Structure 1
């Protein structure tokens, strides 16, 4: 009886163990299994908005006048630099001619002022020589002389005369007004003054002097000094006049350039190649500098303006690629790049949004039109040929580490893994498992 009870207990134990094993295997087999595979993963930020023309312009003359000719009509395609319209130019041409005459007259005044300064400088030099001559004459008049002094004075006179003759010979080799003429003319004047001074000195030594003669010489010195002061004052005035005429020339040049620009503005040209979408002006209209003459757009350059939530905007950068889908063109996907991110947000229904512009590439011949509604996925991050698993199979253990339930020999085991980026559906596995391994969503209990 005892042996029978023992055998019965062993059989029951074997039944329980078998039942447990079958239950465990059943749980592994029925749990959702996923094979670890390689693939591509990207993180995207989405937004929607309206397609706009990225390059357009309102064309104005920038000056007033009456339109004499329109060279285009609405809907025309124009090339860069092509003439759109012209204003009457009679008054503008007259203003330019008057400005050019004023500039030429002022230039002549500048030249005359420069000549006056040169003449005044020569006058100052001559006046200085005269002062020196008068001082020498006075000094020689009141000086007593010996025989040796007279002989020396005679020799000085002879030397001065020879120097004068040499200076005159050199001066005759130059044409008046040529380079160097003024310098040698000064040398002649100085040599003449020295001859006169030497002659006066010798005469004074030979003839003696009187108080009246000394008084006369003193008066001559005073008169020469006054003439020098007057000449210096005239030079200062001439320099001021020259400065004024130079400033007048600068103003005349600005006036001439302004008149030239106003005349150039009377011809309105296309700043870039495009299509004339509107032409509100007519021939014969009088226009202001800001009057819109035509509206020009470049149809081939389109952009999508979307709004991005403040949570997503930190990841958006200039130059990131985007995939654009236009509502009216469901079978067409357009490529683009982020071209602009507004620095200032705006509030809509309590939500903070930022405007982002996406330049569209190769939009020609797609049927795309300004004003169409579209959505865009901006690619923030991309990974290619990486290990991927569904987000739902990634769990965390008690230490906060990411784990996967991996099937090993028919049983599930917790494996600690290192995860990368996730798009909310799939997660990148950097390390911890290999391609082809099987993971399950839940560990069997």
Structure 2
């Protein structure tokens, strides 16, 4: 074989060992039953501890890390960053001023307020399709209002007068009126009726006026409860007692309703119904007319849609305006090194500096929790689940072991030389000794057994889905196809769960150097020790994934015998 061919064969062998762990190609031969030949190597079945692990090596990185960037084009308004700085969640890091964004937000808010005003007006108009009496009292429709009449929002429909209280402005001589006080009792004498009613002074006028004889008089407003014997339009004189003296008004005054409310249509349309007649008494809330408008419902719906859309626009703009104040997303360490290890980029970013969207300032990392991303062979992937415990060893601290667990398992693989690997992240609690970028090896503990039967991996062969060993029988003869069942495996050993007893001896087949094979052939060899049942694999991908299953804590294997 020439040197190129030898090199190619060696590379193929190396690739298989890396991808498949302890998979071997054995000499294809059929041993003959008989006495054990002295030159053949044997191993004894022994008891010991075994761990099935999957491992890999890479660099530590923070579990939580975020790049800090400029949210928009603008000018630096304030900045509170340095090359390396401890930060707390919510702490203001820097603020960008963007006049364009601020203006757009203010305009959008004004538009939203206007649309809301228009929507509320339309809703009020829709509610006004049924005109309700605002107060109880005597209803009087406007003369030109009838069923079918076209009205606008400002069309006057009717008046309603409150009959419960009447008011009258009675004139008194100025020299007497100045001695009155609000609340004083006033006797009212109704013209043409043998009735006297008692009212109270509500207010006293401030502007005197002259009467027909040239004397000075002033109007005094009197309110009087209505017991249904009075009505607006009646005339009355008043008398007030001042000490022992009776003061009379200089003239009569006309009674009026104290409260008269004008009712407007408040919506455009046409009169549909007028349930009452003028002069009738209505109660507050009674429907005194209905108005027909066929488009108001659609107008409300369309305006509501416009308001909803504008509200989204305002919300989006507000979010952008708020994002101009960049705050720390969590407790951690800010450093410009996370985006540029050679230059402190903050040297060129000061108050007043122009920045563009996505300008990188640095990054924030929470170093309390680290993670180690390792690659796992696709054949081992079914054995890896979130929550599995793991040990992490850092190259720079060989005597320490950090506890970890599987945090995330990728669902997308990466194929190299015909073998597919998947990323698995190990979460590691930091004791402040672990640094970003340190090289470390993670070893995932899939399963372990204590005090179980063990054999060297290379002593077990596979054929047609079954496992066999070459058993040395007590009389010295050899059984070349003694079937066994296996459990878990480490880098060097395999668990025997059925078919052998402690101290049984088996022959270790002679290993033949592997010739170059296709990726598919290599994969078949790597699958030799993969499980056929629910038990974890006795295959080699655990070792292939970075040093793999070892015998951590297991008893030392018995030395092979010749």
How does the TM-score come out when normalised to structure 1?
A: 0.58
Residues 329 and 110 of structure 1: is their aligned pair in 2 closer, same or farther, counting only changes over 3 Å? same
Matched, 1:319 2:396: no
For 2:262 and 2:367, the matched residues in 1 are separated by 67
Q: Which residue of 1 aligns with 2:314?
A: 256
The answer to whether the 8 Å contact 1:129/1:190 transfers is no
1:268 matched to which residue of 2?
326
The match for 1:335 among 403, 408, 414 is: 403
Give the equivalent residue in structure 2 for 1:44. Answer: 53
State whether structure 2 residue 493 is matched by structure 1 residue 426. Answer: yes
2:93 pairs with 1:84: yes
Alignment map for 1:130-149 (pairs within 5 Å): 130=147
Distance 1:323 1:190, change over 3 A: closer
Q: 2:275 aligns with which of 177, 183, 190?
A: 190
Change (3 A) 1:175 1:304: farther
Kindly state the Cα deviation for residue 79 of structure 1 after the two structures are TM-superposed. 1.2
Equivalent in the alignment of 2:369: 301
Residue 199 of structure 1 corresponds to: none
Find the counterpart in structure 1 of residue 447 from structure 2.
381
Question: Deviations along 1:343-367, whole A, 9 cap, x unmatched?
Answer: 333344x34332423324233333x
Aligned to 2:117: 108
Task: Give 1:1-20 correspondences, 5 Å limit.
Answer: none
Structure 1 position 48, deviation (Å) = 2.7
In 2, Cα distance between equivalents of 1:365 and 1:290: 31
Q: TM-score normalized by structure 2?
A: 0.47
Counterpart check, 1:74 vs 2:159: no
Distance in 1, Cα, partners of 2:459 & 2:45: 11
List gaps (5 residues or longer) in structure 2. 1-34, 133-141, 150-256, 264-270, 281-289, 337-344, 509-560
Compute the displacement of 1:91 (Å): 6.3
The 8 Å contact of residues 367 and 432 in structure 2, kept in 1 or not, is answered as no
Shift of 1:192: 2.8
Q: Using the alignment, how far apart are the partners of 2:295 and 2:311 within structure 1?
A: 24
Q: How does 1:190-269 map to 2 (within 5 A)?
A: 190-192=275-277, 232=292, 235-269=293-327
Q: Using a 3 Å threshold, how does the CA distance of structure 1 residues 353 and 324 change in structure 2: closer, same or farther?
A: farther
The 3 A distance-change label for structure 1 pair 260 and 119 is same
* Structure 1 residues 406-421: aligned runs within 5 Å: 418-421=485-488
Offset at 1:272? 1.3
Offset of 1:68 from its aligned partner?
A: 1.2
Q: Give CA deviations for 1:274-304 in whole Å, capped at 9, x if unaligned.
A: 1111154432222233222331122233222
Tell me the residue number matched to 2:350.
282
Q: State the partner residue of 1:439.
A: 504
Q: 1:42 to 1:175 in 2, by over 3 A?
A: farther
User: Contact conserved, 1:342 with 1:354, CA < 8 A, in 2?
Assistant: no
Match of 2:414 among 346, 371, 374: 346
Q: Say whether the 8 Å CA contact 1:303–1:357 is kept in structure 2.
A: no
SS of the residue corresponding to residue 190 of structure 1 reads coil
Judging by fraction of residues, say which structure has more helix. 1
Find the aligned partners of 1:406 and 1:177 in 2 and give their Cα distance: 117
1:407 deviates by: 9.0
Aligned counterparts of 2:43 and 2:375: Cα–Cα separation in 1: 40
CA RMSD of aligned residues (A): 5.0
Structure with higher strand content: 2
Contact kept in structure 2, 1:309 and 1:351, CA below 8 Å: no
Give 1:65's match in structure 2, choosing from 68, 74, 97: 74
Task: Check conservation: 1:75, 1:277, Cα contact below 8 A.
Answer: yes
SS of corresponding position for 2:316? helix
CA change 1:323–1:105 in 2 (3 A) is same
Q: Is the 8 A contact 1:53 1:299 kept in 2?
A: yes
User: How far did residue 429 of structure 1 move?
Assistant: 3.5
Find the aligned partners of 1:52 and 1:433 in 2 and give their Cα distance.
Answer: 47
CA contact (8 A) 1:80 1:270 kept: yes
Partner of 1:224: none
Partners of 2:500 and 2:307 in 1: how far apart?
84
Structure 1 pair 431–238 and aligned structure 2 pair: CA distance change class (3 A): closer
Q: Is the 8 A contact 2:147 2:273 kept in 1?
A: no
Distance 1:175 1:244 in 2: 37
1:83 CA drift (Å): 0.9
Q: Which residue of 418, 430, 439 corresponds with 1:363?
A: 430
Q: What secondary structure, in the 3-state scheme, does the structure 2 residue paired with 1:377 have?
A: strand
